[in-house]
């Protein structure tokens, strides 16, 4: 059984690593790894392959950055001949990025069965490009693997047949549990002269937060208060860096003495940085999940989350972009008992094995 696996953007690399490893236990499965090239900087891509032990991609489509329409279309144009040549039994996509929907569409139009890992998550906010990608990918998938019960419920509500849907756990957490010991050895906390448990970590890259200078400025109102309380480490995504160039928010962050900006970090350094932080502030999806397992309080700078189980664990507060709400959540995070949360069901490091076993059983691998 031949499975083409798609990666494109940074969070995809973390999700595919445990799957590539799980395939090794199934000799009848031939995995092919295709990188669309959506992310291409070495710190956004190569570093992750190296640290996560992902085999070099069999193919890189080299598509790069562009508007949504152009990027999605270019990925589709480049991927179609790959499917025609390889004639896979399955195409597997992860997450919710443009590479996910682009390759999914190509597969099903050529009559190839589609597997979606991390299916069913819904923010119910169609202004998020990822939400559109999620809804569309799920609607055309043949195997839908969910990380949490809310995903299963959302798919049932959308009329997707229950026999296509599997609750298997979370491949991103498989990667975290596997690499946590190696991350412990990272010297990042020492190198940045931080004290364990006495700094915050910040990530921001959602268009809704960083593309509009007024919204960005309101978030900075809160960060200004927080960075007076403790150092805030801010690894900067390329989208955010572009938006900070020659802009009012850019000038403001330069003036914040305790806001420590860095380039994007590798997987192991970032895991170490999160695990010793007092608190994490983020607009990422995956970081909400990782902090819930690391038992580090997370303040999510978005109006909604597609990962409600992270809130149920007690470690995640979804507060939006209002500075007063952000500061109130920051203060609340310190008074909560450290053992508030429980690990979501099946987030045990074995999700990828479950996925590959189901595919092998159903498709004869």
Residues with a catalytic annotation lie at 205
Give, in order, the Cα–Cα distances in Å from 43 to each of 78, 232, 314: 24, 21, 32
Under 8 Å between Cβ of 2 and 32 = yes
Closest CB 129 distance from ligand UD1, rounded Å: 4
What minimum distance in Å lies between the beta carbon of 104 and ligand UD1? 13
Sheet with 259-262, strands from edge to edge, namely 259-262, 232-235, 200-203, 279-282, 298-300, 316-318
Which residue bears the tokens 């806001």?
259
Minimum distance between the CB of residue 343 and ligand UD1, rounded to whole angstroms? 24
| Cα separation, 343 vs 84, whole angstroms | 42
Nearer to ligand UD1, 227 or 284 (CB): 284
The distance of Cα 169 from the centroid of its chain, to the nearest Å, equals 15
Give the 3-state secondary structure of residue 298: strand
Are 217 and 249 spatial neighbours (Cβ–Cβ below 8 Å)? yes
Residue with Cβ nearer ligand UD1 (96 or 290): 96
Q: Which is nearer to ligand UD1, 38 or 227 (CB)?
A: 38
Binding residues vs ligand UD1 (CB under 6 A): 9-11, 38-41, 44, 65, 96-98, 129-130, 205, 237-239, 242
Nearer to ligand UD1, 9 or 296 (CB): 9
Beta strand spans in 85-150 (E)? 90-94, 113-117, 143-146
């Amino acid at each position: 059984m031949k499975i083409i696996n798609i990666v494109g953007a940074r969070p995809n690399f973390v999700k595919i690593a445990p799957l590539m490893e799980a395939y090794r236990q199934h000799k009848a499965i031939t995995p092919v790894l295709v990188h669309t090239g959506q992310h291409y900087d070495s710190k956004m891509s190569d570093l992750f392959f190296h640290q996560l032990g992902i085999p070099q991609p069999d193919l890189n489509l080299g598509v790069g950055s562009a508007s949504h329409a152009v990027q999605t279309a270019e990925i589709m144009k480049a991927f179609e001949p790959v499917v025609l040549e390889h004639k896979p039994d399955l195409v597997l996509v992860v997450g919710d990025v443009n590479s996910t929907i682009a390759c999914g569409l190509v597969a099903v139009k050529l009559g190839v069965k589609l597997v979606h890992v991390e299916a069913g998550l819904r923010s119910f906010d169609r202004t998020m490009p990822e939400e559109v990608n999620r809804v569309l990918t799920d609607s055309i998938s043949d195997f839908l693997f969910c990380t949490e019960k809310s995903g299963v419920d959302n798919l049932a509500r959308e009329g997707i047949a229950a026999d296509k849907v599997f609750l298997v756990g979370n491949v991103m957490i498989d990667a975290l549990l596997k690499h946590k010991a190696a991350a412990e050895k990272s010297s990042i906390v020492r190198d940045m002269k931080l004290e364990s448990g006495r700094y915050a970590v910040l990530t921001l890259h959602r268009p809704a937060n960083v593309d509009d200078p007024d919204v960005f400025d309101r978030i900075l109102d809160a960060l200004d208060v927080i960075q007076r309380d403790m150092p805030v480490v801010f690894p900067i995504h390329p989208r955010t860096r572009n938006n900070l160039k020659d802009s009012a928010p850019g000038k403001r962050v330069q003036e914040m003495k305790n806001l420590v900006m860095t380039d994007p970090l590798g997987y192991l350094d970032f895991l170490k940085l999160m695990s010793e932080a007092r608190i994490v502030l983020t607009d990422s999806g995956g970081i909400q999940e990782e902090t819930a397992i690391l038992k580090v309080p997370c303040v999510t700078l978005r109006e909604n989350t597609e990962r409600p189980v992270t809130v149920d664990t007690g470690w995640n507060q979804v507060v939006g972009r209002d500075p007063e709400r952000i500061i109130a959540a920051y203060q609340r995070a310190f008074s909560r008992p450290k053992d508030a949360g429980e690990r979501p069901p099946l987030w045990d490091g074995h999700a990828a094995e479950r996925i590959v076993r189901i595919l092998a059983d159903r498709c004869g691998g």
